[in-house]
Amino acid sequence: MSSAFTKSTARNIFYGGSVFFFLLFLALTFDTTMALPKRDNRANLTESAVRGKHIWETRNCIGCHTLLGEGAYFAPELGNVYKRRGPEFIKAWIKTQPTGAPGRRQMPQFHLTDAELNDMVEFLKYASDINTNNWPPNIEG
């Protein structure tokens, strides 16, 4: 066997590796595309949850909070807050902001109506039911 590494050998390794990893990328993309509908909880998407998402976006909640790992890391993860705290706690917490606790950064008061609070809770309930493959890694987010 020749110990010389020729230009054609290097080219073949490059093209072979490129084709292999491109095909691997396509296979993983296809697998993800097939798995998402089983995990995304779209069957439970209600009109109320859609309105809650609109509130989430217009109040820029993601500017401080994370949801399913996406967003700012300034305030707690809210992907599982519905399961951790429940709907009544969420409503009460939003209504009492800012708390004025010394040494604690404050969440702004958005003056949400009861209907908007219910929509926000429905959105957080919807988000908590998404199969996140055990994200976040701890219960407190």
Question: Is 138 or 41 the better-scoring residue by pLDDT?
Answer: 41
Please tell me whether residues 19 and 74 are part of one structural domain.
no
* pTM score, whole prediction: 0.77
- Its domain, for residue 121, covers 42-141
| 6: pLDDT strictly greater than 60 | yes
Report DSSP letters for 68-134, one per residue.
TTEE-SSS-B-TTHHHHH-HHHHHHHHHT-----TTS--PPP----HHHHHHHHHHHHHHHTS--SS
Please tell me whether residues 73 and 17 are part of one structural domain.
no
Please tell me whether residues 56 and 116 are part of one structural domain.
yes
- To the nearest 10°, report the CA torsion of 19, 25, 26, 30: 160
Please tell me whether residues 81 and 137 are part of one structural domain.
yes
pLDDT at site 2: 61
How many CA atoms, within 13 angstroms, populate the side-chain half-sphere of residue 82? 17
| Per-residue pLDDT reduced to its tens digit, 19-54 | 999 999 999 999 999 988 888 888 889 999 999 999
Please tell me whether residues 54 and 121 are part of one structural domain.
yes
pLDDT at site 141: 62
Tell me the pLDDT band of 140, cut-offs 50, 70 and 90.
Answer: confident
Please tell me whether residues 109 and 85 are part of one structural domain.
yes
| Omega before residue 137 within 30° of 0, cis | no
Please tell me whether residues 85 and 137 are part of one structural domain.
yes
| Cβ atoms of residues 110 and 90 within 8 Å | no
Please tell me whether residues 77 and 140 are part of one structural domain.
yes
Which residues are within 8 A (CB) of 72 and not within 5 positions of it... i.e. 6 or more apart? 62, 63, 64, 65, 66
- Domain with residue 46: its CATH number is 1.10.760.10
| 131: pLDDT strictly greater than 90 | no
Please tell me whether residues 2 and 50 are part of one structural domain.
no
pLDDT at site 32: 92
User: Alpha-carbon distance 18 to 21, whole Å?
Assistant: 5
Please tell me whether residues 69 and 107 are part of one structural domain.
yes
Please tell me whether residues 118 and 133 are part of one structural domain.
yes
| Per-residue pLDDT reduced to its tens digit, 71-122 | 998 888 898 899 999 999 999 999 999 888 888 888 999 999 999 999 999 9
Q: How many residues does the chain have?
A: 141
